[in-house]
Structure 1
């Protein structure tokens, strides 16, 4: 998980004592927010603005002193400093912070143990969003976007669902089946019925899903994660990851992509890596069937696209054999993603009218490259330990030593390394590369000089 400056939490302020130091308009805005939580609000200030004075007269808040003293911190849950005196604010912050009381100094992040986020209120649904004080205008724009897609009636959906929550727990005692029920309900017309105040029909819809809900039999979802950059994961892939119970992932799947998973999902690495003891394919198949038969939604997460040298079809055929439900989420295959990131189009008029994909680890075998003629563009996957053999075979097939080449490791990632040269120098170039290698051969490689846009080129 990425580092965060603040932990977003929701505090129950009901009947909590809150101390406000300051009595101007800034203090007033904070008090208006806090008063809605039924907190006990106390003020220390030499002067009080008219708006606050009305609250004091109505005994909604309490003005306890003109001057600050530590004795007023007894039983205080949190403090807000809202004065214009920077030196005074700093002094008070240092005193209170040592007592481990939550404290916020308005418009001064340096003297805060907590900050106020921007709030989107669809009670009981509450969304908070913050840039940790770095970009308030951006947060305002994001809030407007979120506000525009969340109907004011979304709170009603949560309230109505909450009324049935304990009942649903009794009907579906298995957590996985219960979660599946709610997912199906919220993807039906139930939400529109509540938003449009058709509560009677919404309840009928809920009972319909209770009566007609089938036992969760588990499911396999084959997902292509793309070539590496988490931004290249498809929207459908993201949605599936966030709903998975079990994720069996390949070795080179990045942490950023895995972080999209539900926090309670079980993540299991089943990837293969050259030179290391790897889990056998047969054991991967057994794991898939085992978890699915337990009623889990299992995601098999593979790099690139699962149907391009990814053994995706093999695993689906096993699932089919055992009568398992499955679906497929395509991914951007490494050749397409990486070539785009290095500015090398695999086809280009007058340069290349055809492309051949090979994998060095399986299909490229001694004395046998499986293509009838020299392709305009050749892409070879997983060729790290086959470079010498690849050079020999390409020359035998008719490639010339001056043919442009590119070798890429960790393509599309921030630490991507790209090497350009000619076929003659491939052995020398490859010695400098660590990690998995993708090789591109053909005239199109030269176009990187005009089309390159991503960093880390050598």
Structure 2
């Protein structure tokens, strides 16, 4: 590690920027978040810098740089387009033992300005030590997404309680108090108002001294989406990274499990058609057992837990047990797979409605579905888990009014790099799927919107880099 990360106190500090172009403007905008007094030396300024100078926000000297300009600053930045000027600035700063940042010249720098994520008093600085600034910015973007916006307000409010917490709790209990409070708020995205947060801290302090047992945990049903981990919601990601126990299905992509906290317990409860690895009643009992032990339990399901995911049954049992429950919706397979296949589910010229059904047979082997409604014109029909019953589905739809040449498509492993799409008609789709040797998981889409795929199949071209 060539550069040691430190934070400079900018209260009453002076900062010199040499240069008045767009690069200098970017550096000034970063420093403008601090109380430092910024001086700029440059013959010309950008419009934004000139406005800042005219209003007294910065001090501007409209001339060329000379070595004696460096003197009592806390930081010097060389941001001109002339390498000779930049080197002269760096040389003067080094002689004065002042940290200097030279834009796009790592060798001349004694200080590097990192990519920054700010949430009030919490500041995260990311640096590649000048080797790959673009990567540092990409990491910053990921951290921006992961850190709740309410962190700054929490720090401001909680900071006012530090002394009272120390006064009311034994030293060995202070850390645990704050950890429990932060963990609970993190799960909720730090969405509390200032007044509500203060009430919550007061209540937590009041409870902390009564010797109460560990409170029960929470069960969260998380929709993992159709497969691509990039389609996971921010709240779903937070729950996965906060979980103590994760119960997951067979259809959950391994890439999603890789996002789970490393020390979390993972329990596979996956199901295959007609072969249930763990009975549903046992899955519900497992969730309740772990939550009662004070753990944060995530039931991770493919797609959306409330769309053919039995989420309603699971959350009902957990709620009946008196435990906290939460549902984090996911992108359902119909939306995700259709989008990645280039098939819009609705379109003004093709479909004004969309119907979702499941192709599972009932326990008695009967495929009992609302056939007349499914065969309605100007509609897109999406059949979940319809691969095993594809032949009967096609035939019954024809019998109820759809033409044999009505377009349809079967999407296998939708949204993943292994995605395959087979198109055809109700009369030909079974043969086409057999020839393609699709094995699932697969989704059937029926409707004239399928004909749009030939022009909208973006993932076929971009799939390798999506």
Range into which the TM-score falls when normalised by the shorter chain: 0.5 to 0.7
For 2:178 and 2:154, the matched residues in 1 are separated by 24
For 1:397 and 1:247, the matched residues in 2 are separated by 44
User: Which secondary structure state, in structure 2, belongs to the residue aligned with residue 454 of structure 1?
Assistant: helix
What is the TM-score normalised by the length of structure 1? 0.62
Contact 2:303–2:332 under 8 Å retained in 1: yes
Match of 2:440 in 1: 435
Residue number among 124, 127, 131 corresponding to 1:127 in the alignment: 124
Match of 2:206 in 1: 211
Equivalent residues in 2 for 1:241-252 (5 A)? 241-252=240-251
For 1:425 and 1:185, the matched residues in 2 are separated by 50
For 2:410 and 2:119, the matched residues in 1 are separated by 52
Residue number among 388, 391, 395 corresponding to 1:385 in the alignment: 388
Match of 2:332 in 1: 333
Rate the CA distance shift 1:287–1:255 in 2: closer, same or farther, 3 A: same
What is the TM-score normalised by the length of structure 2? 0.61
For 1:234 and 1:217, the matched residues in 2 are separated by 26
For 1:353 and 1:119, the matched residues in 2 are separated by 46
Contact 2:150–2:189 under 8 Å retained in 1: no
Rate the CA distance shift 1:192–1:279 in 2: closer, same or farther, 3 A: closer
For 1:130 and 1:403, the matched residues in 2 are separated by 56
How many residue pairs get aligned? The number is 368
User: Which secondary structure state, in structure 2, belongs to the residue aligned with residue 391 of structure 1?
Assistant: helix
Contact 2:270–2:276 under 8 Å retained in 1: no
Note if 1:410 corresponds to 2:410. no
Match of 1:448 in 2: 453
User: Which secondary structure state, in structure 1, belongs to the residue aligned with residue 222 of structure 2?
Assistant: strand
Rate the CA distance shift 1:389–1:341 in 2: closer, same or farther, 3 A: same
For 1:322 and 1:349, the matched residues in 2 are separated by 47
Match of 1:302 in 2: 301
Rate the CA distance shift 1:415–1:53 in 2: closer, same or farther, 3 A: same
Match of 2:360 in 1: 361
Q: What is the root-mean-square deviation of aligned Cα atoms in Å?
A: 5.1
* Structure 1: runs of 5+ lacking an equivalent: 1-5, 13-24, 26-31, 34-47, 61-104, 109-114, 194-201
For 1:191 and 1:168, the matched residues in 2 are separated by 27
Rate the CA distance shift 1:53–1:410 in 2: closer, same or farther, 3 A: same
What's the CA shift for 1:106?
Answer: 5.5
What's the CA shift for 1:257?
Answer: 2.9
Cα deviation, 1:344-403, whole Å, max 9, x if unaligned, reads 222333533333322122459546433334233321111222233333333333433211
What's the CA shift for 1:206?
Answer: 4.5
Rate the CA distance shift 1:11–1:410 in 2: closer, same or farther, 3 A: same
User: Which secondary structure state, in structure 2, belongs to the residue aligned with residue 242 of structure 1?
Assistant: helix
Rate the CA distance shift 1:285–1:136 in 2: closer, same or farther, 3 A: closer
Cα deviation, 1:129-169, whole Å, max 9, x if unaligned, reads 246834449729958x969x899999988988888689575
Contact 1:363–1:369 under 8 Å retained in 2: no
Rate the CA distance shift 1:366–1:169 in 2: closer, same or farther, 3 A: same
Match of 2:318 in 1: 319
Cα deviation, 1:203-229, whole Å, max 9, x if unaligned, reads x97455311468522222222222222
User: Which secondary structure state, in structure 2, belongs to the residue aligned with residue 455 of structure 1?
Assistant: helix
For 1:384 and 1:307, the matched residues in 2 are separated by 21
